[in-house]
Structure 1
Amino acid sequence: MSISVQNLSKHYGEQKALDDVSFEIKKGEIVGFLGPNGAGKSTLMKILTTYLLPDEGVAMVNGFNVLEDEKRVQQSVGYLPEHNPLYDDMYVKEYLRFNADLHSVSKDSINNVIKITGLAPEVHKKIKQLSKGYKQRVGLACALIHDPEVLILDEPTTGLDPNQIMEIRELIRTISTSKTIFLSTHIMQEVEAICDRVIIISKGNIVVDQELDELLNQAEQIVLVEFDYRVDEAFLLQLPHAKKATNTFGFAYEIHFNTTKDMRSFVFDFAHDNQLKIVNLSRKNKNLESLFHEVTENA
């Protein structure tokens, strides 16, 4: 198991940042770690990288205990924190050489991470001359320079423009072929594009831990329908498998069905049988953003 967290808790004074958190991540998984601001994401990541100590519970990375094997954990983890700390007055290659020396790895590793992260055109520049996107690449190169088995990335695309986000996303996808990746982000499309599994934390508690495909294909759908006049929402609940009907505006409604079966034909027949004229009819599935809002709003 690449990461194992059992009954982990952390307090800041009276505030409980993590409350009896448990989960495991297998080798080779790409796991998206989501949660509102202040939910405990960064705290957990800092514990897994030994920057913080837990108050209770056990955290293991590559079989090493964060309390008992701090050095071994650091050797097996590559960490990109949310606020990427760089020495702006150093040249890119100079900074990578500095980090290679810290990890006691060969100079070959410098050329390797330069190639992986696409830094070759910028290696002779000072870090302060780089764009935000290339600074993130430098941070990723440093996280990779000792060839760790696990990468922990805290908001790796914060502050990037859309093109830079796509570049970093593709870079992470490339790296993921040989690493376990634990990725925190506020960008839901990023998780949908990269991750195999999603863990959502809210108020220090895990509220979702599920494979992404299963989460997005859960047994519920939403049919959008617009009639030619107003009807009562309760009337629409007569439809089979209907669990909720909401008037969104004018004569338009969202009908939630507790089934994966396409219910549009049922809505059409229902309207015909009740002398209702349909102006528009479409279907939408829940996306990760709507699921995130649902589970964290009620947590």
Structure 2
Amino acid sequence: MIKVEHLTKYYGDFLAVDDLSFEIDEGHVYGFLGPNGAGKSTTMNMMTGCLSATSGRVEVGGFDLFEDADQAKKLIGYLPEQPPLYMNETPAEYLRFVGEAKGLRGAELERQIQAVIEQVRIAEVKNRRISALSKGYKQRVGIAQALLGNPKVIILDEPTVGLDPIQIIEIRDLIKQLGQDHTVILSSHILSEVQAICDKILIIAHGKLVAFDDPDKLERSLLSGNEILFTTDAGADQVQEILAGLDQIGEVTWEEKEGGLLSVRMKTAAEDIYEVSRALFFAFAGQGQALLELTLKRASLEDIFLELTENGDPADQTPAGETTEEQEGEGA
């Protein structure tokens, strides 16, 4: 549906987006993750044709976004982080203006306006001034304008920012519904939001793509995040001897605590962390040693996000998942 090839953007001497390449298939909700300043908004602005690229290309539905912009843009609905609303108009008036700007006319224009009003559930406020609406309703109006023209791709930049918890849940549910009929790309730096909505995840850091896969596969590709934490009254030498007899044990660190206790943290490359913990328990029991506490810490999206965006220089990393992203200012 969307093919991004070697997309690069400089602001003066500052490299905001660094040689991004990836493909978006039809029929998924994609999470576009990255810390503030990672290059998310710049990338999305280039993917929608709102911002020129320094180099590279974007293809939407077979149309080159920079060479055949009119055809490519017809396939895209876009909600920027700050919805482009006219506050003195009502939602119905505003949607009519947007629909006409997209080339809709007559009965088809009215049909689509009514359809998106019902789809985003703003019928009860369609004749109120947008300036009088809550933040949640304003976001719904912004999503409605993105749906006009029935685009195949819906791109949403931080759609729940500034909303209260109830509004966030409502917008998330709406996005899930949109994903049934559209390819949706959702930009966010909120991990729980991406986990709740998306079935594919792209992670960028310092303008580079560092991961692209579904959440489960990302977790399995970074198994070093699986840890077992335990407390024992055995000595450090005894602990080392016991662990030496176990398979799939990675880095081990420990800290002496009061009362002669040892707090141990060990990583495992095993896919089944429960099997390792079971072997650990019986290994200590077999040596007559006690495990006073035992905690399993599985790799989470947050762990993956931190490992990929904070550990090391992304320029030296190969994207996790598929082998194949600002002081720029988010929203630039």
Deviation, 1:274, is: 3.9
Structure ranking higher on relative contact order (CA contacts 8 Å, 6+ apart): 2
Name which of 276, 284, 290 aligns with 1:277: 290
The aligned counterpart of 2:218 is 215
Change in 2 beyond 3 A, CA 1:180/1:230:
farther
RMSD, aligned α-carbons: 2.0
The aligned counterpart of 2:6 is 7
Structure 1 distance, partners of 2:24, 2:213, is: 11
Structure 2 distance, partners of 1:111, 1:8, is: 37
Asked if the contact 1:9–1:56 (Cα under 8 Å) also holds between the matched residues in 2, the reply is: yes
Query: Could you report, residue by residue, the CA deviation over 1:14-72 in whole angstroms, capped at 9, with x for unpaired residues?
Result: 11111111000111122111112211111110111111111111111111112111112
> Which moves more between the two structures, 209-218 or 176-185?
209-218
Matched residue of 1:107: which SS? helix
Deviation, 1:230, is: 6.7
Name which of 239, 249, 259 aligns with 1:242: 249
Name which of 121, 125, 149 aligns with 1:122: 125
> Which moves more between the two structures, 62-71 or 132-141?
62-71
TM-score using structure 2 length = 0.84
Name which of 136, 140, 144 aligns with 1:133: 136
Name which of 157, 161, 184 aligns with 1:158: 161
The aligned counterpart of 2:265 is 254
Structure 2 distance, partners of 1:253, 1:97, is: 64
Q: Which amino acid aligns with 1:20?
A: D
The aligned counterpart of 2:179 is 176
Asked if the contact 1:218–1:260 (Cα under 8 Å) also holds between the matched residues in 2, the reply is: no
The aligned counterpart of 2:56 is 57
Asked if the contact 1:233–1:247 (Cα under 8 Å) also holds between the matched residues in 2, the reply is: no
Q: Counterparts of 1:188-207 in structure 2 under 5 Å?
A: 188-207=191-210
Q: Which ranges of structure 1 fall in alignment gaps of 5 or more residues?
A: none
Q: Does 1:292 align with 2:305?
A: yes
Q: Give identity over the alignment, percent.
A: 40
Q: Which ranges of structure 2 fall in alignment gaps of 5 or more residues?
A: 315-332
Change in 2 beyond 3 A, CA 1:184/1:234:
farther
Q: Does 1:113 align with 2:112?
A: no
Q: Does 1:43 align with 2:42?
A: yes
Matched residue of 1:181: which SS? strand
Change in 2 beyond 3 A, CA 1:19/1:249:
farther
Structure 1 distance, partners of 2:121, 2:237, is: 59
Change in 2 beyond 3 A, CA 1:234/1:184:
farther
Structure 2 distance, partners of 1:22, 1:234, is: 47
Name which of 232, 251, 259 aligns with 1:227: 232
Deviation, 1:211, is: 2.1
TM-score using structure 1 length = 0.93
Change in 2 beyond 3 A, CA 1:80/1:230:
farther
Deviation, 1:233, is: 11
Q: Which amino acid aligns with 2:61?
A: N
**What is the number of equivalent residue pairs in this alignment?**
298
Asked if the contact 1:237–1:244 (Cα under 8 Å) also holds between the matched residues in 2, the reply is: no
Matched residue of 2:172: which SS? helix
